[in-house]
Chain A
Amino acid sequence: MPAYRPPRIAASEITPERFFLDRRSFLAAAGGLVLGGASVAHAAELKASASPFKVDEALTPEKDVTSYNNFYEFGTGKGDPAANSGGFKPTPWSVKVDGLVGKPKEFGLEELLALPLEERTYRMRCVEAWSMVIPWIGFSLANLLDKVEPLGSAKYVAFETVVRPEEMPGQSGYFQPLPWPYREGLRLDEARHPLTILAVGLYGKTLPNQNGAPIRLVVPWKYGFKGIKSIVRISLTETAPPCTWNLAAPDEYGFYANVNPAVDHPRWSQATENRIGEGGFFGSNRRDTLPFNGYTEDVAGLYAGMDLKVNF
């Protein structure tokens, strides 16, 4: 399968005017969010420019993308996030960006949504050996990082999910699967890579709660758990930040968590994956997993000289 090759033209040159975010209609939609609650949040339209970052594979049906999720803050079952996230309030929202930066700042959601939004169709490979193809809407993380002016000493980026036990059933009660907040991290060069985005929508609409509303990380060459959801804080650090799954089971989930068919999870092979929403019950929906999830040409350079079996 050929890795996609981004054309070397600016997105603005190939983007028809009508794709650009229409601020007025967004603000109207945002007003609706506040008044109408979660059900409207799922439906609010979001405009974005087309993007060359688009894999040429069938999209996973929206129904599957929004009903088959891992988001332990809402429960450990795949259907739990969709079933239990109705009371979650993704607005108002802000994201604090701090740490080793020249200009720390708390960004309001409106401000983030005003950044140039693009539609990016990426493969998503879960560490549990299933995958999807999702049309995200988001902006380049590098774009946000530039605004806070990282210091020379910054080597890593740490992310944190919101803690709201009263709105997230998985965060309250006797049994809590993970320590909260959920944390993730990237090396700064990974965070600044053009493929790395903060997503605010999918399928042309604002993110549903179960997919990490209102803002989440998408790093398409890494396993899905790196894509931390409902982000409230981004900190630049000098040392590798703690990551939730890595801390929970270091032999199963590495810091890098790059998609790698040659490094098995201790309990299952990573050589193949089930494409959700395809093949049904009898047809083959298993396909080979690609190194770096098919993004080798773009990202292999980040790991030159590293032993990826050790740094999994």
Chain B
Amino acid sequence: MAAIPLLPKRFHGPSVWALYALGFIPAALAFYLGATGQLPGNAVKEFEHLLGLWALRFLVATLTITPLRDLFGLNWLRYRRALGLLAFYYVLMHFTAYMLLDQMLRIPAIVADIARRPFITIGMAALIMLIPLALTSNNWSIRKLGQRWNKLHRLAYVIAAAGALHFAMAVKVVGPKQMLYIFLVALLLAWRAVRTPFLRWKRQRTAVTRSHPATQKAAG
């Protein structure tokens, strides 16, 4: 794992803040273009879609942190909270754009959409599930909740699956883009199922190679 250059420790904190700053660029840029009349065609939908897509990207990114560490020893745990919160903020902006810019706050239409259109119901469920996760994304909650924090944050799996499904159901024809996200989420969730046996096997292997340095060479 020496091939991956390690970020000096003193940059860890700033790099997380840089991630937040970078993370908001797509939304800020699209908002600027939309507000100045530079988004083509249906500006509101373009904006709404862009926010939804970035929400999904951040959800997927959040779930890749663990497999990256398991498989490649890459410890990017410090970015996971930022990625998860960015996902939450993007879903919130997606929802706000839908309510304010798209539906122009026509509450009956919004309520009817959420109640009657399965893809919107699913999206809304995902947003609601994200709220407790966002509220407990701080050190105090982690300490306070202990084991229960881990259990609660497994909701991220359900949310990502709901997001990918919502995307596939929102479009007229399920295409490569929707398939890609369904595939990525399926892969990342499947990893959680095989993770424990994999880590046990890996630990045993390291234990063995430690006690017999010669086999390490032989095994390559």
Seen from chain A, the residues whose Cβ lies within 8 Å of a Cβ on chain B are 64, 67-68, 72, 76, 78-79, 128, 130, 174-175, 177-178, 248, 266-269, 271-272, 274, 276, 280-282, 284-286
Contact = CB atoms under 8 A, between A and B. Distances in A.
Contact of A78 (B41, B170, B173): B41
B37 A280 contact: yes
A108 to B, nearest CB: 34
B44 interface: yes
12 contacts: A79-B40, A79-B41, A177-B175, A266-B117, A268-B113, A272-B106, A274-B42, A276-B41, A276-B42, A280-B37, A281-B35, A282-B35
Contacts of A78: 40-42
Given A175-B175, A269-B109, A281-B47, A67 B104 contact: no
Nearest to A277: B41
Contact of B45 (A67, A177, A274): A274
B70 to A, nearest CB: 32
B37 A281 contact: yes
Contacts of B169: 267
On chain B, which size bracket covers the interface?
20 to 34
B19 interface: no
Contacts of A271: 109
Contact of B104 (A130, A174, A284): A284
Contacts of A281: 34-35, 37, 39, 43-44, 47, 101
Contacts of B103: 286
A304 B188 CA distance: 55
Contact of A175 (B40, B45, B117, B176): B176
B112 interface: yes
B119 interface: yes
A260 B153 CA distance: 45
A105 to B, nearest CB: 35
Nearest to B37: A280
A79 B35 CA distance: 20
A103 B169 CA distance: 46
The 4 closest A-B pairs by CB, nearest first: A68-B41, A177-B173, A281-B34, A175-B176
B41 A67 contact: yes
A104 to B, nearest CB: 34
Nearest to B173: A177
A260 B109 CA distance: 17
A78 B172 CA distance: 12
Contacts of A284: 104
B27 to A, nearest CB: 14
A282 B101 contact: yes
A280 B43 CA distance: 7
B104 A269 contact: no
Nearest to A252: B172
Contacts of A285: 44
Contacts of B109: 269, 271-272
Contacts of B172: 76, 128
B159 to A, nearest CB: 21
Interface string B42-60: 1111010000000000000
A130 B42 CA distance: 8
B173 A267 contact: no
Contacts of B47: 281
Contact of A267 (B40, B106, B170): B170
Given A267-B170, A269-B112, 10 more contacts: A67-B41, A68-B41, A76-B172, A79-B41, A130-B42, A175-B175, A267-B118, A269-B109, A274-B45, A286-B104
Interface string B115-142: 0011100000000000000000000000
Contacts of A128: 172
A266 B121 CA distance: 13
A247 to B, nearest CB: 13
Nearest to A173: B176
Interface in B45-83: 45, 47
A17 to B, nearest CB: 38
A76 B175 CA distance: 9
Nearest to A126: B42
Chain B CB count within 10 A is highest, among A79, A266, A272, A280, for: A280
A248 B171 CA distance: 13
Interface in B154-172: 169-172
B12 to A, nearest CB: 38
B113 A269 contact: yes
Contacts of A268: 113, 117
A245 B65 CA distance: 41
B40 A68 contact: yes
B117 to A, nearest CB: 5
Nearest to B44: A281
Given A68-B40, A269-B113, A276-B42, A178 B35 contact: no
